[in-house]
Structure 1
Amino acid sequence: MLKRIDVAEVQLGMFIHKLDGNWLKHPFWRTKFLLTDEQILADLRASDVDGVYIDVEKGEDVGARSGEPARRRPLISGDSGGSGISIVDRARLDRLHAQPISRPPMGNAVAFDPRSTTPLSVAREVGHAKAVVAKASRVLAGVFEQARLGKAISKGQVEPVIEDLFASIQRNPHAFNGLMRIRRENTSLYAHGLAVSALMIALGRQMGLPPDHVKEAGMAGLLMDVGMGHLPIDVSTILDDLSDAEREIVQTHTTLGYEFLNMGGELSEEVARVCLEHHERFDGSGYPNQLVGDEIGLFGRMAAICDVYDSMTSDRPHRPRIDPNAALAIMRGMEGQFDEDLLDQFIESVGVYPIGSVVRLTNGRLALVVDQNVDDYTRPRVWSFYDIGSRRVIKPEDLDLRLCKGRVEIVCSDDAAGFEIENFPAIREMVFNSACKALH
């Protein structure tokens, strides 16, 4: 029997038959399921769903909310005189009572080890990556604030963040960086450092650097912009069209950061040097010292690539983000500015079509890249969400292009902004989160 209830009345153990409301209002594409996950319950309650239809024959009824016994689907059927239970069903019931009760898992029965490096799919790792972002953001907000006030950064403060990032990227090299491309709120200084740190770790891993060197690279990316907090101007107001005087001031963040990290004495010269070198360019066109080629340290050359990529693919107060695939194409066109061998390795580490990219398909749809196929980065897993012909958002379709065998292929990367899709950032985030839940 179906019953419509308010979202606030939904409880674990209920069988969700239907979500009442437009599919754009909620993050679920699968609407018939037994609700056993506390995170899914929280997501449902936080959504804009108008109401929920539950099937009380397959799961809990609302009676459990007020302390009444929950009504469940009958375990037995048939009739045998006044007892109402057949002999066969009585035997089944006796066997059932003799067995231990098996209940659905309530949340995570076994605590997850955040330092585990056991490989996971993107869908499974994204949830852990979100926890890393939340934890790291709390730590880094305090670290960057104390740095702004002139208090030295200790290695012990930031090492746990690096260890968590390193473990996440070992479990899946694409999940964390894909999450940072999808997130709508990614504009703070420490969020940029966190994203660059993850990209540095993924690049170092792709290059085959020893684990200790990979973690050092991540530390360097995390702290490379710490000098911004020592500028005599508000960096949140900085735009592209700076005056010459403003530009000279902003460029001093490289030397200020280098001097500040050396002052603490706990961080290596290689980490501090990246503060100084991440704006240097391979052809000598960078600053502050116009270094050329291998005069720039390895971590500095890596950071130049990771810094530009994250800046391009993140929203800024003065401009919207660029699609990840388009950003890679632009960087390819910046001839001479990057170490070409490292740029090739970087593209290999994020994928030809990085997670979060919007692509146009041969079936006339726009799709979001939600996972990589490590055997063929040109054919990622995508979820289509927009019909180009009718110019409307559609219910997403899961397509693993590697398995489509040519029936559906990528035509090119595309810019969703050109289609004037209303509230596209929210749709992009919702499609990605829903894909992860469906593929978990």
Structure 2
Amino acid sequence: MLKRVETNEVRLGMFIHKLEGSWFKHPFWKSRFLLEDEDLLQSLRDSAVPAVIIDTARGADVSRARMAAPGMAERHKPIQTSMPRASFGQARRSPVSGNRLPPATAMRAVGTSTAAEFGAARQVAGRAGRVVNKLFLEARLGKTLAASDVEPLIEDIYASIQRNLYAFNGLLRCQQDGGNIYRHSLAVSALMIALARTMRLTPLDTREAGMAGLLMDIGVGQLPPDALPQDGDYSRLPDDLRDGHVVLGHALLKAAGDIPDQVLRACLRHHERLDGSGYPYRLGAEDLDVISRMAAVCDSYDTLVNGLAGGEALDPAQAILALQAMEPALDGEVIRHFIDSVGVYPIGSLVVLRSERVAMVVDEDPTDNAKPTVRVFHSLRQGSAVRQATIVLSQCYGEDEIVGIADPVALGLGDVAALRASLLGAVERGAS
């Protein structure tokens, strides 16, 4: 039976069926869960949620909850994750908002395998691409955006990343469709959510990080169409137009009236740099908040792997090296968290193994981001394709390892985008 309960009446043991109010006002990604943790209960009481809907068939009723024994929380002790509880318990605060971070049970991923999540991620990416395309078209036509236009999209992306940290971004890296501003926005949004999750930001901060990634280039639609470079390299625009896509985008989002302040800041500052070399205002480190620093890193990475800054697109592993070389203009600590979220060799990287074989990275090991899972497909000795095989480098006991990044042009591998899509497809189908 469903029953509406005021937030101050909520007790441990209740099954939360729905949280009333805007998704920006509550600290949870899931709207349905069994309330078993004191910290989670306190977070709910501290939030702006006016009331909740409980399901008494799946949890305690109001009267039963009031009579619950003091030891109830211990009997419903949450499953521990690999990260010690002390590292993000009651005393830990978000580096963004200063709010108390949620407990382990609120952050723990479900644990879907990367191969299994690729299918769901593909569906989410397809829907998201259409939504983003529409958003940019409507912005060009002068329609005012609203936070509600992108809330469902951010929820879908987060849900995929919550199930598996690597699949959604890996899929985007291996899809054949070329980089454009719509795909770039979707990729940066997903990277921001993954990075925020790795940094253990609050659900609210994570939502807003994802929204910033999605909307930071919305001002491109306000530029004259004949001025836009066909290759997407906006660094070659005259300064007034280059700066304009940021300033105009910020003005468009501010006019919406309900876009959160830190989303607006990140959209305005994602091209600023800690050393003052960025644009449009040449701000320095003291003026750049955490979300803006995250946006600069995620935007720079996706720009590198798609060749949007001029020149050839970099292999994901090469882009990681290039990103590290961009310190101190970019925040080094954020870069290190970013590498934790995508790997030293991100999915889609083409690598050379000690066994003189070439492989593509198809999965990551969260316990060792330098030893991913790879799909072997080419032999340097033979100079030709070999029977494909999947190797979990973290579990091969030193029999093989990555010794370098492959050069697909020098090896004559042909259409790299089609190759990546084919190799990922084999993993998705469960091929041996």
Aligned partner (choices 322, 331, 355) of residue 330 of structure 1? 322
Distance of 1:220 and 1:241 partners within structure 2? 19
Between the aligned partners of 1:278 and 1:424, the Cα distance in structure 2 is 30
Farther-moved stretch of structure 1 (311-320 vs 374-383): 311-320
Residues 187 and 240 (structure 1 numbering): CA distance in 2 closer, same or farther, change over 3 Å?
Answer: closer
- Pairwise CA distance, 1:372: 0.9
Give 1:176's match in structure 2, choosing from 168, 185, 197: 168
Report percent identity of matched pairs.
40
Residue identity opposite 1:432 in structure 2: L
Counterpart AA for 2:358: L
Give the C-alpha shift of residue 375 in structure 1. Answer: 1.7
2:429 is paired with a residue of what secondary structure?
Answer: helix
Q: How does 1:367-378 map to 2 (within 5 A)?
A: 367-378=359-370
1:333-390 Cα offsets, whole Å, 9 max, x none, are 1231111111111111111111111110011111000011112222111011111122
Q: Find the counterpart in structure 2 of residue 363 from structure 1.
A: 355
Aligned ranges 1:376-391 → 2 under 5 Å: 376-391=368-383
Residues 117 and 168 of structure 1 are in contact (CA less than 8 Å); yes or no, is this contact kept in structure 2?
no
CA distance in structure 2 between the partners assigned to 1:192 and 1:137 by the alignment = 10
Residues 242/339 of structure 1: CA separation in 2 closer, same or farther (3 Å cut) = closer
Task: Supply the AA of the counterpart residue of 1:362.
Answer: R
Q: 8 Å contact 1:358–1:413 — kept in the other structure?
A: yes
Task: List per-residue Cα deviations over 1:155-199 (Å, max 9, x = no partner).
Answer: 111110000001000000100010111112142212111100000
The 1:439–1:169 alpha-carbon spacing in structure 2 relative to 1, beyond 3 Å, is farther
Which residue, out of 128, 149, 158, partners 1:136? 128
Of 124, 137, 150, 1:145 maps to 137
| Pairing 1:157–2:159 present | no
Instruction: Specify which of 168, 172, 187 is matched with residue 179 of structure 2.
Output: 187
Please state if 1:306 is matched with 2:298: yes
TM-score of the two chains, using structure 1 as the length reference: 0.70
Q: Please say if 1:340 is aligned against 2:332.
A: yes
Q: What letter matches 1:313 in structure 2?
A: V
Mapped to 2, the partners of 1:205 and 1:239 lie a distance apart of 29
RMSD (CA atoms): 2.0
Q: Which amino acid aligns with 2:156?
A: D
Q: Does 1:423 align with 2:420?
A: no
CA positional deviation for 1:394: 2.1
CA distance in 2, matches of 1:319, 1:214: 32
1:201 counterpart residue number = 193
CA shift for structure 1 position 239: 6.2
SS at match of 1:419: coil
Contact 1:186/1:192 (<8 A) preserved: no
Distance verdict in 2 for CA 1:403–1:133, change over 3 Å: same
Cα distance in 2 for partners of 1:184, 1:319 equals: 19
| Partner Cα separation in structure 2 for residue 439 and residue 400 of structure 1 | 14
Could you tell me which amino acid in structure 2 is paired with residue 262 of structure 1? Answer: K
Q: Distance in 2 between matches of 1:268 and 1:151?
A: 19
Q: Is the 8 A contact 1:365 1:384 kept in 2?
A: yes
Q: Residue 248 of structure 1 aligns with which residue?
A: 240
| CA deviation vs aligned residue, 1:238-275 (integer Å, no higher than 9, x gap) | 565976x7243122111111111001112112112222
Per mean C-alpha deviation after superposition, the further-off stretch among 250-259 and 222-231 is 250-259
Structure 1 pair 273–382 and aligned structure 2 pair: CA distance change class (3 A): same
Shift of 1:317: 10
* Among 121, 126, 147, the residue aligned to 2:118: 126
Counterpart residue number, 2:205: 213
Matches of 1:385 and 1:206, distance apart in 2: 31
Q: CA deviation at 1:423?
A: 2.2
Task: Give 5+ residue unaligned stretches, structure 2.
Answer: 1-107
Q: Does 1:237 align with 2:230?
A: yes
2:256 equivalent among 251, 255, 264: 264
Q: 1:252 to 1:238 in 2, by over 3 A?
A: farther
SS in 2 for 1:252: helix
1:354 pairs with one of 335, 346, 369? 346
- How far 1:233 moved relative to its partner? 4.0
* 1:395 and 2:387 are equivalent in the alignment: yes
Amino acid at match of 1:407: E
Q: Is the 8 A contact 1:257 1:272 kept in 2?
A: no
Counterpart pick for 1:290 among 255, 272, 282: 282
Cα deviation for residue 315 of structure 1 reads 5.1
Q: Return the alpha-carbon distance in structure 1 between the equivalents of residues 364 and 395 of structure 2.
A: 13
Give the whole-Å Cα distance in 1 for the aligned partners of 2:401 and 2:158.
33
Pair 242,137 (structure 1): closer, same or farther in 2 beyond 3 Å: closer
SS in structure 1 of the partner of residue 394 of structure 2: coil
Whole-Å separation in 1 of the counterparts to 2:328 and 2:285: 9
Residue 427 of structure 2 corresponds to 435
Report the Cα distance in structure 1 between the residues aligned to 2:314 and 2:231, rounded to whole angstroms: 19
Instruction: Determine the structure 2 residue equivalent to 1:321.
Output: 313
Question: Match for residue 408 of structure 1?
Answer: 400
Q: Distance in 1 between matches of 2:279 and 2:308?
A: 22
In structure 2, distance between residues paired with 1:239 and 1:130: 24
Q: Which amino acid aligns with 1:306?
A: C
**Distance of aligned partners of 1:276 and 1:397 in 2 relative to their CA distance in 1, 3 Å threshold:** same
Alignment partner of 2:404: what SS? strand
Matched residue of 1:133: which SS? helix
Using the alignment, how far apart are the partners of 1:290 and 1:317 within structure 2? 19
Aligned AA for 1:201? I
Distance in 1, Cα, partners of 2:245 & 2:380: 45
Q: Distance in 1 between matches of 2:197 and 2:160?
A: 12
Distance 1:148 1:233 in 2: 10
Structure 1 unaligned regions, length at least 5: 1-115
**In structure 2, how many angstroms separate the alpha carbons of the residues matched to 1:241 and 1:203?**
25
- Equivalent residue for 1:281? 273
1:377-431 alpha-carbon deviations (Å, 9 max, x no partner) = 2211101111112221222111111221111111122222221212232122101
My pick for the range that moved more, 371-380 or 203-212, is: 371-380
SS at match of 2:355: coil
CA distance in 2: counterparts of 1:307 and 1:239, whole angstroms? 13
